[in-house]
Structure 1
């Protein structure tokens, strides 16, 4: 297989670094790596396949002769640079929110809608939100079996979901409090996260839902080709370093027992069933970090439903830096080969 020239936009961030690691782990055929970042990181060395690579300035000229761009930058930088990379012939797999809901940009979780990758007229393919990926990977096989009508989701999202700044801030807060000092400024969080929960991720939008909460519905509808899917989501930032957790209740068109769900999920790609409550075995962030499967457990009937035979509640955890961002992007790039 001929090698590809691969650029990483945002190579010095948490997701960009993870993208390089995933490329290496999965033996992606890279003939030349082009790490790109802002001016303050130019000249910094990043390691890939045992060699140091100097970070270059993220500019339109940097995409000359690049085959694939993996985007790990923010919305503004992605909006400015990726269309220019695409015009030069590179196919861009972007982790930002900038292009996700464009009609002519596929939004892809390979376990669900890999076929959409083939149609990318802009030369841009969007990576979904991390919580969307973690929630939909186990939801999709159950939908295929019994047809979902509605999702009620609560997410418990790690500090690293806010990037390196989130990780650094949580560590700093714990250190300050352990030393008896005041926490002070809590940027990038609205409040102290250490020993706390913050029931807000993103800005508040229509009907007092946040932008993060609306992504689960809007992105889920597009990915699963279900324009009428109903989702109610509450997103909470929690003082966990890595891996997001989600409590999901699903209403189905047909009967679906917990036993059926476990059997279906045990065969589903990207899913690992971890569900032995009598032995205190269930998914947790510590167990799901630094790997790519979505762990699913606590599968049970929804006792509040008027038709409990058609409603299940489950708990899932997944590494939002890997499967929720970097690995999913690299999987998409593999289909491009």
Structure 2
């Protein structure tokens, strides 16, 4: 007997991706329920060859649901995740609401799978920020080999990270540029078409944005609290796929060739690194792919034991939906959750 799965926020970019990935990976679900707010009730969403009608989150009984994939934003999660968890349903939350709670494990299965055992404290598991997820997949095998001391990251994040409204704004502004229409700015702080914006999320007192702080806090929580991290997060006019320029200082000596060999064998990683025109990955090529792609691996002569590299991944998949489903698969694989209908 399979599991009963609920997807909250099923009409959003990530929610739709969750439904698609559940089916394509053959997750052992006997029933999948699509949930959202009352204004989306009756909307149809795809689950493989099936069409699901969205139901109202407010009215759903979670007492016979095994796993809830939550992708409806932090405010909704703060209200509903504890209620759902109290019903015995394990919540895997994609928002930032629970990532920094000491009693909630923050999981990337390729990086810290053993931390999942801690989910029982609250019955909630947190999914990391999209830019952190792909970053730590690439960092973990290198950290195991040479121990990372310091990390400097610049992210180049696609508009899909800001949801459907972000994608619509890029499309509408781009069209307006070509037909000489007025350019309207609603979602972003400045025009995004043919531009880059060094500002994602709200500013904090120290001048960093919350998006930049997330990379710092989540990397430390999942990888190693001793790593020193600094980040600049930039929104770029790309629809899907986050890119990152990563500079790493290690405690031990490691060469670029060693790093390539390690990453080629690492789970979730693909190395595309030829020193020639086009011998690297870009967001266009990573869209729809599950892997984290690493290119431009090279030694940094300005510090002792330094490397630089370029990391690209589909933010809707590895950065959100895929990682959440990999967490659900880990729960099943380790027999940490069983179908309640069978019990």
State the TM-score bracket (shorter-chain normalisation).
over 0.9
For residue 126 of structure 1, report the CA deviation from its aligned partner: 0.1
2:91 equivalent in structure 1: 92
For residues 254 and 222 of structure 1, what CA distance do their matches in structure 2 show? Answer: 22
2:340 equivalent in structure 1: none
CA contact (8 A) 1:156 1:244 kept: yes
For residue 125 of structure 1, report the CA deviation from its aligned partner: 0.1
CA contact (8 A) 1:60 1:84 kept: no
- The within-5 A match list for 1:201-280 is 201-224=200-223, 226-280=224-278
- The answer for unaligned runs of 5 or more in structure 1 is none
CA contact (8 A) 2:160 2:167 kept: yes
2:72 equivalent in structure 1: 73
For residues 161 and 81 of structure 1, what CA distance do their matches in structure 2 show? Answer: 23
2:40 equivalent in structure 1: 41
Matched, 1:101 2:135: no
For residue 228 of structure 1, report the CA deviation from its aligned partner: 2.2
CA contact (8 A) 1:60 1:81 kept: no
For residue 60 of structure 1, report the CA deviation from its aligned partner: 6.2
Pairwise CA RMSD: 1.0
Deviations 1:147-202 (A, max 9, x none): 00010000000010101111111001111111111112x22111110000000001
CA contact (8 A) 1:56 1:62 kept: no
User: Which aligned runs of 4 or more in structure 1 are off by greater than 6 angstroms?
Assistant: none
- The answer for unaligned runs of 5 or more in structure 2 is 333-343
For residues 95 and 278 of structure 1, what CA distance do their matches in structure 2 show? Answer: 38
For residue 303 of structure 1, report the CA deviation from its aligned partner: 2.6
For residues 233 and 73 of structure 1, what CA distance do their matches in structure 2 show? Answer: 26
CA contact (8 A) 2:107 2:115 kept: yes
For residue 62 of structure 1, report the CA deviation from its aligned partner: 3.6
**TM-score, length basis structure 2:** 0.95
CA contact (8 A) 1:59 1:81 kept: no
For residues 19 and 138 of structure 1, what CA distance do their matches in structure 2 show? Answer: 23
2:176 equivalent in structure 1: 176
**TM-score, length basis structure 1:** 0.96
For residue 118 of structure 1, report the CA deviation from its aligned partner: 1.7
For residues 51 and 38 of structure 2, what CA distance do their matches in structure 1 show? Answer: 18
1:4 equivalent in structure 2: 3
Partner-residue secondary structure (3-state), 1:47 = strand
The number of residue pairs the alignment matches comes to: 331
For residue 302 of structure 1, report the CA deviation from its aligned partner: 1.1
CA contact (8 A) 2:270 2:292 kept: yes
For residue 279 of structure 1, report the CA deviation from its aligned partner: 4.5
